[in-house]
Amino acid sequence: MTVSDDNKDSIENRAIASRLATMNTHHRTANENVKQPTIYEPDYDDGRIAIIRSFERDIASRIECLKTPLDVSSLGEVAYGSHRYPLYEITAIHDANNPYIRLTGLVHGDEEAGGKALLDFLDDGIKQYLTHFNFIINPCINPSGYETATLQAMNGYHLASRTDKNTGNINRSFNGALPQQESRLIEASLKRGPERDLPPIKWTPVYS
């Protein structure tokens, strides 16, 4: 019996499909037998973190002493193992029609001058401006970095959780660039805050 060219093509195609199905079955079975890796959560209390300054003594205690008309609140808690810190926000709203000024400090934990200057400003210097401006102030965005005196937050300082040189760099984790709990809290505050008249921003990644 003579087999036509069309029948030959059909037979070959079915044979190829059968081989591919067998290969895919073997591939799935092999993958199912492979143990999936677990995501490693670093132990921030394993002795690798050197605490050399006190956020509670140097920063939090001064903020908690601030009085009316300054309103002290926490945007939420930043946590690295047992190391837990409130992310403070201080507001002074005299007249909702006045311009708003937002000031932030200590985004990088080893650059303490700006944060401590804001604390001094809150202690006394802000009073003369309260009738003309409204203020939203975050004196210390990186409390864990302040305690370790490092540019990064604690997840960038702990080698087990660092994936690249930008891990824990809060300044480079806004707008969804990198996951970082401190920047997410600040972003949420910005969304809740007063409307801002800002020009469009073209985001250009500066990390690698």
* Full DSSP string of 137-157: EES-S-HHHHHHT-SS-HHHH
Answer for the pair 102, 137: CB distance below 8 angstroms, yes or no.
Answer: yes
The string over 49-74, giving b where at least 16 C-beta atoms fall within 10 Å of a residue's C-beta and e elsewhere, is beeeeebeebbbeebeebeeebebee
Q: Which of 4-8, 21-25, 68-72, 118-122 has the highest mean pLDDT?
A: 118-122
Confidence of residue 39 (pLDDT cuts 50, 70, 90): very low
* Terminal C-alpha separation, the chain: 67
Q: Which of 90, 100, 106, 88 is nearest to 129 (CA)?
A: 100
Q: Which pLDDT belongs to residue 35?
A: 45
Backbone phi, then psi, for 91, in 5-degree steps? Answer: -120, 150
- Give the pLDDT mean for 79-103: 93
pTM above 0.85, yes or no: no
- Give the pLDDT mean for 30-58: 69
Residue range 180-201, pLDDT digits in tens? 899 999 999 988 877 765 555 5
Strands annotated E in 33-82: 71-80
